[in-house]
Amino acid sequence: MNKRTFLKSVSLLSAGLLAGNSVQAVANSSNHNVLSLKKPTSLPRKGTIGVVSPSAATANQKDIILAKQVIEALGYKAKLAPNIMARRGHLAGTDTQRADDLNALFNDSSVDAIFCLRGGSGAARILPLLDYAMIRANAKPLMGYSDITALHNALLAKAGIVSFHGPNASSSWNRFHVKQFQQMFEQQTRMHFSNLPKGEDELVNSQYLTQTITPGKATGQLIGGNLTVLTALAGSTYLPEFDGAILFLEDIDEAPYRIDRMLSTLKLMGALDKIAGFVFGDCNDCTPGRGYGSLTLDEIFADYIKPLGIPAYRGAMIGHIKRQFILPVGTQVEINADAGTLTMKEAAFS
């Protein structure tokens, strides 16, 4: 099943699960009852990081070994969720197994933070099964990206907690990621996110080029993630409020016409007209298919983002790339579209 077919099935299944689930009263609350922001407790040195797989199944034991080695190399202990090697079709176990694992790690006092093993697809299916009241009471940092976008948005909308859009546990961790992790989680720096300078063999910075769409500065709550996953939550109560937000987006393997359609969805639902700033990261393999022509990404951003008149830029180090920022979803940040930067205006931890 490809990603687009899966997302259609997710919408139908999520609606059915939500209607039939009377246990989680918090999960069924309206988005209009906006929760105050709750920041997670900081990660203690030599603490324990839980590893959960809320989306696609893990194909082999190697991913588990690498995830444990990453966490131990960072100086922490790893604790694997009970069902991390489970499998049901393309998913890492049943919806109940995956939700139970995530609920258990949040409720486990011996676990100080949570890394998602990988993305893929399937995280949206477990959103109605999460205990948001318990999660808020036990706020701890959760990190991941791609399909984990569903969790970032739901945790902010339903539990009001900050989470972190960054490498998964089985990602290719490198010195850049380690430095980001140390600055964010250990030093608790108010990060200034600026693309890396040009390489030694480059005349100009072509690899990490940012492009201003509309100049200016603005401050707001940072929300966003993977464009496909985020727009698949449209119409649900698992999206946070967009009013005055700084929206960041990225994607992979999506033809420009599909990027156009998803931005159209955000426009039609009123989200784009509410935001205060816009950042687009990388769109890996987002090239036109065969056919009679295609809009370019430049034209798509000119159609949807430029008319908003808000600070906006593209090319940030966000997405399915070798080096990506660790972004604190839910915190106040300042966008500088002229410089192509984001700057944290508050701490990410309590």
Provide the b/e sequence for 146-176 (b: ≥16 CB within 10 Å): bbbbbbbbbbbbbbbbbbbbbbbbbbebeeb
Question: 247: which strand partners?
Answer: 223, 278
Catalytic residue among 146, 163, 170, 236: 146
Q: Match 């002229």 to its residue by tokens.
A: 338
Backbone angles phi, psi at 312, to 5 degrees: -155, 140
Catalytic residue among 42, 163, 171, 250: 250
Of 290, 270, 280, 271, nearest in space to 315 by CA: 280
Neighbours of 183 (CB within 10 A): 15
* Residue 241 annotated in active site: no
Residue pair 306/298 in contact by the 8 Å Cβ criterion:
no
What three-state secondary structure class fits 226? Answer: strand
Q: Can you say whether the dihedral through the CA atoms of 324, 226, 132, 84 is positive or negative?
A: negative
Of 260, 331, 343, 250, nearest in space to 295 by CA: 260
Alpha-helical regions (H) of 21-131: 61-73, 95-107
Residue pair 222/328 in contact by the 8 Å Cβ criterion:
yes
Alpha-helical regions (H) of 108-168: 132-137, 149-154
CB-based contacts of 210, cutoff 8 Å, min separation 6: 195, 313, 314, 315, 316, 340
* Residue 152 annotated in active site: no
The DSSP-derived string for 17-47 is HHHH--S-TTTTS-TTSPPPPBPPPP--TT-
Checking DSSP bridges between strand 48-52 and strand 163-165, what pairing results, if any?
unpaired
Q: Taking the CA atoms of the chain, what radius of gyration do you get in angstroms?
A: 19
* Residue 11 annotated in active site: no
Which positions are catalytic? 146, 250, 320
